[in-house]
Amino acid sequence: MKRSVLIAALLVGLAPLGAAQAQDLSGQRILQRIDTNGDGVISKDEMTAVRERVFKRLDRNGDGVIDEKEIASARQAIKDRAEVAQARVGNRWRRMDANGDGKVSEQEFASSMPLFDLADRDGDDKLSADEIASVRKLIAKRTN
């Protein structure tokens, strides 16, 4: 769900982040996901629990080992997600090119905020907490 929130914030334009900020946010997200007792650090036990979950996810047939077929399946799933992401980037780029010249100007880029417009249910050019929550729910449904 936290991944959905970040995606929504970035797409809606609520969180224009620099590279350093994005790296910090990623570290914070990782900490929040793994630090199950909320003490602000990742213990070896917490990391062990994560690795157990990853192992179970990779061991698709549940036989207690990860074989080449399961790794090939995981690699293919990664490739499939990458292809979908590439297609989405291309589609978004084409939609931003408002004048159809094959280029996206700074103005076209800045004015293209379809998720913001979708979330702004009352059309006041501002997002309330309720409107943001609605977008989060929509994105969570699509990513799960």
Is the Cβ–Cβ distance between 8 and 139 less than 8 Å?
yes
Q: Is 66 left (phi over 0), alpha (psi -120 to 50) or beta?
A: beta
Q: Is residue 15 part of a domain?
A: yes
Same domain, 87 and 120: no
State the Cα–Cα distance between residues 112 and 106, nearest whole angstrom. Answer: 10
Q: Is residue 55 part of a domain?
A: no
pLDDT in tens, 91-124: 888 888 889 999 999 998 888 887 788 788 888 8
Same domain, 83 and 102: yes
The domain of 94 spans 68-112
Same domain, 118 and 95: no
pLDDT in tens, 26-64: 788 888 889 999 998 999 999 999 999 999 999 999 999
User: Mapping DSSP to helix (H, G, I), strand (E, B) and coil, where does residue 37 land?
Assistant: coil
Same domain, 100 and 126: no
Same domain, 1 and 31: yes
